[in-house]
Amino acid sequence: VLKPGWVAVGDELMLLRQDEKRISVSMANNLMYQDKYNWDKIRDLLAVPFLSASWRETFSLRLEKKEES
Query: Cα 7 vs. chain centroid, distance in angstroms?
Result: 20
d(CA 14, CA 16): 6
The model carries a pTM of 0.75
- In a structure prediction context, what are the per-residue pLDDT tens digits for the chain, which is 69 residues long? 678 899 999 999 888 888 788 888 999 999 999 999 999 999 999 999 889 999 999 999 999 999 998
Q: Please report, as a single letter, which amino acid is at residue 24.
A: S
d(CA 21, CA 44): 7
Q: Residue 1 has what pLDDT? A: 67
